[in-house]
Amino acid sequence: MARSRLEKIGTIYSRTKGLIQSGALQWEDRPLWYDLYEAFPPLEEPRFDRPAPNITLKKIFYEEDKIRALLHNRNKHIGTVNMFNNQSHTLTKRFIESYKKLDEQYVGTASEDVLYNETIELLQHERNKPDDDHISLAKSFKEAQQSGNPNIGIKVGDIFKN
């Protein structure tokens, strides 16, 4: 019998093992993690009623995270990113680099708002240059087709043909 699906009764491992033993789940259809769990069982059984360990977590924020959060909080719609183009940096990366350069120029005397506004102006000035490398979705697909990427020419109807 497959027993209960309720998470309070047994663990996911014991329930899966019961399904395999009862024949409800074939050995070939077992989850990927099943063999790893048997080879390397955890020190403590992962049950729902086990108390959470009382440990302090390390803060893993980087300097760039604060700058990135500043950009994304004030600009909700940044646009698309061309994943096929490895030559140019994303808008977020260019913003972070420009923000850091301006911060070094002001030697920490400028406020966050002043740095943000000047960085935005700098990026807009770069964008309006004639050699603009502005990314559009249509341009991305056109470049990918020209580069010979085989995945771009696929039609959805062809995928489901039998």
In which residue are the tokens 């770069």 written?
A: 126
Q: Range of 102's domain?
A: 63-146
Asked if residue 127 and residue 67 are part of one domain, the reply reads yes
User: pLDDT (tens digit, 9 = 90+) per residue, 88-113?
Assistant: 888 889 899 999 999 888 887 888 88
The one-letter amino acid code at 141 reads F
Residue 27, judged by CB atoms within 10 A of its CB (0-12, 13-18, 19+), counts as exposed
> Which residues are CB-neighbours of 83 under 8 A, at least 6 positions away?
140
For the chain, give the longest Cα–Cα distance: 71
Asked if residue 108 and residue 77 are part of one domain, the reply reads yes
Q: What is the mean pLDDT of residues 31-51?
A: 90
Asked if residue 77 and residue 38 are part of one domain, the reply reads no
Is 154 among the domain residues?
A: no
pLDDT at 20: 95
Please identify, among 54, 74, 90, the residue that sits at the C-terminal boundary of a domain: 54
Is 94 among the domain residues?
A: yes
Asked if residue 130 and residue 102 are part of one domain, the reply reads yes
Q: What's the domain count of the chain?
A: 2
Is 3 among the domain residues?
A: yes
What distance in Å separates the CA atoms of residue 122 and residue 136, rounded to the nearest whole number? 21
Report which of 107, 79, 111, 108 is spatially closest to residue 92, judged by C-alpha positions: 79
Average pLDDT over all residues of the chain: 80
Q: Could you give the residue ranges of the DSSP H alpha helices within 90-136?
A: 91-106, 112-127
Confidence band for 149, pLDDT divided at 50, 70 and 90: low
